[in-house]
Amino acid sequence: MKPTLIAALACLPALSAHAAGIALYPTGPAEDSAFVRFVNATSGPLEVQAAGSGATLSLPVDKPASGFMPVAAGKPVKGTLAGGGQGLPVSVNVKPGEFATVVALDKKATVVLKESPDDFNAMRASLALYNADPACRQAGLRTAGRNVGIFENVGQGQTKRRLINPVAVSVELTCDGKPQGAARDLGALEAGQRYTVLVVPGPQGPRTLFANDALTR
Strand order in the sheet with 207-212: 159-164, 125-131, 194-200, 207-212
Closest CA to 158 of 142, 137, 177: 137
Whether 9 has a pLDDT exceeding 50, the answer reads no
- Domain range for 24 is 3-216
Which residues have CB under 8 Å from 5's CB, separation 6+?
117, 118, 120
Query: Count of domains in the chain?
Result: 1
Average pLDDT over residues 23-47: 85
C-alpha 180/C-alpha 154 separation (Å) is: 15
Residue 92 near residue 36, CB atoms below 8 Å: yes
Tens digits of per-residue pLDDT, 83-123? 988 899 999 999 999 999 999 998 789 999 999 988 789 99
Tens digits of per-residue pLDDT, 153-199? 999 999 999 999 999 999 999 999 999 989 999 999 999 999 999 99
Q: To the nearest whole number, what is the mean pLDDT of the chain? A: 87
